[in-house]
Amino acid sequence: MQEIIKNSLAKSLTYLEYRKQVTDLLKEGKSTGSEQSEALTKYSELNEVRMNRLEKTIQITEDATASLINLKSSYTWIVISEGWCGDAAQLLPIINKMAELSEKIDLRIVLRDENEPLMNQFLTNGGKAIPKLLILDAETLTVLSDWGPRPEGAKNLIVNYKAQHGVVDETAKTELQKWYLHDKGISTQNEILALVEKYEKQLV
């Protein structure tokens, strides 16, 4: 596992590098990832607009800010993502703003299709669902926890919709976007911080 993580970190991007790569590919009519299609490019374009908006509007709560500023240990956060992923577009701006608040967090982003060995270690129900956040001890690169691909409320919405309708269609995706809009990133902040604080308490 350590070797897989080191190999992925060697190919990792900062948040700004990730944004630039997605933008540059869109100028060529492409998306990130090994598969290329008009649909994936369209999703990437929508996500570009979404992320631009969220970067301006998402607020980190006072409680989350206080926790992040007072972290004792140092962490590497790795997010497995792709530019076409709607959930990643909703969650990455939040994760980035959280990381920016703490000198103890180094956020790195890796592309799923370029890091298959890493992705295969963190499957969701056997699938390569993204985004996936890996919380690592910065010194040892031990994985302390992982989170994703969605907050609990969003995950339940999709599970329930699929149980009722048998598919995840455009209506489901619209309902999911409404959920994210209403939640304002609060669930994501709380769930990720709960994982970090669990480890922090062991250091007391």
Tens digits of residue pLDDT in 83-106: 999 999 999 999 999 999 999 999
pLDDT in the model for residue 204: 56
Predicted local confidence at residue 74, as pLDDT: 97
Three-state helix/strand/coil letters over the chain: CHHHHHHHHHCCECHHHHHHHHHHHHHCCCCCCCCCCHHHHHHHHHHHHHHHHHHHHCCCCHHHHHHHHCCCCCEEEEEEECCCCHHHHHHHHHHHHHHHCCCCEEEEEEEHHHCHHHHCCCCECCECCCCEEEEEECCCCCEEEEECCCCHHHHHHHHHHHHHHCCCCHHHHHHHHHHHHHHCCHHHHHHHHHHHHHHHHCCC
The residue-averaged pLDDT of 59-70 equals 97
Q: What's the mean pLDDT in 179-183? A: 97
Task: Dump pLDDT digits (tens) for 135-167.
Answer: 999 999 999 999 999 999 999 999 999 999 999
Give the residue-averaged pLDDT of 45-57.
Answer: 97
**What's the average model confidence in pLDDT over 48-58?**
97
Kindly state the percentage of the chain with pLDDT values over 90. Answer: 98
Name the pTM for this structure. 0.96
Mean pLDDT confidence for 44-69 = 97
pLDDT range class, residue 115, cuts 50, 70, 90: very high
Q: Residue 203's pLDDT is what?
A: 72
pLDDT at 201: 86
- Residues of the chain with pLDDT > 70, as a percent, come to 100
Residues 26-44 pLDDT 10s:
999 999 999 999 999 999 9
Fold that domain 2-149+192-201 belongs to in CATH: Glutaredoxin (3.40.30)
pLDDT value, residue 24: 98
Average model confidence (pLDDT) for the chain? 96
pLDDT for 127 equals 96
